[in-house]
Amino acid sequence: MTAQDLDTSGSEKNGKISLEALAKMTGFPIEIIKEEIFNGQDDQDVSLDDLRSAMLTYIDTTMLLVGDDK
């Protein structure tokens, strides 16, 4: 995702992205993004740093759960 992608998706130029724009770009329903990635957080805009952190946490947690099944 580049700064140009954020500008064309209707997000702010200050490094934040709306969850609605994120949902459109990824094809995931906004409810799933809020519940699974942001643990029910109700913010409508997130910084790119917060998005990266939340995604890493989600991936780590998911991978640990999959690893426990073996």
- 45 SS3 class: strand
What pLDDT is stored for residue 8 in this prediction? 45
**pLDDT (tens digit per residue) in 25-59:** 999 999 999 998 988 888 789 999 999 999 999 99
Task: For residue 33, count other CB atoms closer than 10 A to its CB.
Answer: 20
* Residue 63 in tokens: 């991978």
pTM of the model: 0.65
- Which spans in 1-70 are helix H? 3-8, 19-26, 30-32, 48-68
Q: What is the CATH number of the domain that holds 62?
A: 1.10.238
**pLDDT (tens digit per residue) in 4-13:** 454 544 455 5
The total number of structural domains in the chain stands at 1
Q: State the residue range of the domain holding 30.
A: 3-68
